[in-house]
Amino acid sequence: MIIIDMHLDLAMNALGWNRDLKLPVAEMRRLEEGMPEKGRAASMVALPELRQAKVAVASATLNARVMRPNSPVSGYRDHDIAYGAAQGQLAYYRQLAAQGNVTIITSRQELDRHVEAWQAAEQTGTAPPPLGIIISMEGADAIVSPEQVPQWWGDGLRIVSLVHYGVSKYAHGTGTHGPLTDDGRRLLRELERAGMILDVTHLCDESFYEAMDLFGGPVLASHQNCRALVPGERQFTDDQLRRVIARDGVIGVAMDAWMLYPGWIKGVTKNELVSLQAWVDHVDHICQLAGDARHVGVGTDLDGGYGYEQCPHDLESIADLQKLPGLLAARGYREEDIQAIMYGNWLRFLRHAWTR
């Protein structure tokens, strides 16, 4: 079964971690043996494994934060540098596309052709097309000003979140509390005018509700789990999940063990305690809230600053995503609902978002 994964930090891993994503995961791990940093020699994502996983489409991020006082994370010194870094990540995706390793998707027509080609390859047993990627931005610091949105749209950007960890120019994110900024409110207007999709992942509660009230365009949560199952402000409350569902949005459930296991302590808790059943628990919780299986999908966030040590223990690499349909079937989900969760919900959402 094909899969759409709506959150992968591919360029961050290539440029920030110096990983050649054309190599298999095993080779990338071998090249990093002895490196002491978290996630080294434990990578989960590479183009060969994405093909094995039958990931037809992925949202591939641009991630360039600006460093601020008292921020929980590091970043660049100003927005001009962040802009340059994000443009470099975009150049990496364009180079992969020029080599035929990926296809950049920017419209409904391109999406339909790409998915149809994958489905035809599945039916005939022939080789599928390359991975299709939709360019997204995790944290909007690389947008120097709201007036720059049309330029980014022309560059192929289609999905934007306002903030990552800490505080951005536009909103308060994970680890902080507070509203949107004036620039953030202006940015939402420009994003809506351009036809951009808003990703509400990583918004703190106050900024989330304000953004949901102000933004009239399509809304998704690319990698966002359930606070009812794992306490902590990184996850969404049931009310927040319902707000996304009410907008006909889709929530991508992440595979970061920190978001799957209550009380996880980074660098201490062992992943033997977490299996892919925990991922299914979050999927099922969202389905129960919605009353159907139309508003949840895959948003793995694998290799998002961590590796195998912070993933479910039965996920050796992203190739193991093909275990998910069986786990959902064992939980009682019908074939049509499994297809919706694996790819159909994201496909429907994107087609509708790009109808305008």
pLDDT digits (tens, 9 = 90+) for 249-301: 999 999 999 999 999 999 999 999 999 999 999 999 999 999 999 999 999 99
What CA–CA distance (Å, rounded) separates 202 from 235? 8
Distance CA 29, CA 303 (A): 12
Task: State the Cα torsion 343-346-347-350 to the nearest 10°.
Answer: -160
pLDDT band for position 355 (50/70/90)? confident
Inter-residue contact 58 to 132 (CB < 8 Å): yes
Six-digit token string for 136:
């997204």
In contact, 197 and 160? CB cutoff 8 Å: yes
Two structure tokens written together for 170: 């536009």
For residue 235, how many other CB atoms are within 10 A of its CB?
20
Structural contact between residues 346 and 4, judged by C-beta atoms closer than 8 angstroms:
yes
Q: Is the four-CA dihedral 273, 304, 243, 297 of positive or negative sign?
A: negative
**Residues in CB range of 82: below 8 A, 6 or more apart:** 64, 65, 66, 75, 76, 141, 142
The string of DSSP letters for 217-256 reads S-EEBSS--BTTTS-STTSBPHHHHHHHHHTT--EEEP--
pLDDT tens figures, 131-148: 999 999 999 999 999 999
| Integer Cα distance of 165 and 188 in angstroms | 19
CB 55 within 8 A of CB 48: no
Q: Is the pLDDT of residue 69 over 90?
A: no
pLDDT digits (tens, 9 = 90+) for 35-60: 999 999 999 999 999 999 999 999 99
Q: Domains along the chain?
A: 3-353 (3.20.20.140)
Q: Could you identify the residue written with the tokens 């998910």?
A: 324
**Integer angstrom CA distances of residue 44 from 17, 49, 53, 311, 325:** 13, 8, 12, 9, 19
232/224 Cα distance (integer angstroms)? 12
Query: What is the average pLDDT across 2-15?
Result: 98
Nearest to 221 by CA among 230, 208, 232, 206: 208
pTM of the model as a whole: 0.97
> For 153-200, how does the pLDDT look when each residue is reduced to its tens digit (9 = 90+)?
999 999 999 999 999 999 999 999 999 999 999 999 999 999 999 999
Q: Count the neighbouring beta carbons within 10 Å of the beta carbon of residue 286.
A: 26
Residues in the chain: 356
CA atoms within 13 A on the CB side of 95: 13
* DSSP designation for 275: -
Backbone dihedral region for residue 223 (phi beyond 0: left; psi -120 to 50: alpha; all else: beta): beta
In this predicted model, what pLDDT tens digit does every residue of 336-353 receive, in sequence order?
999 999 999 999 999 999
Q: Where are the beta strands (DSSP E) in the chain?
A: 3-8, 55-62, 102-104, 131-137, 157-161, 197-199, 219-220, 251-253, 296-298
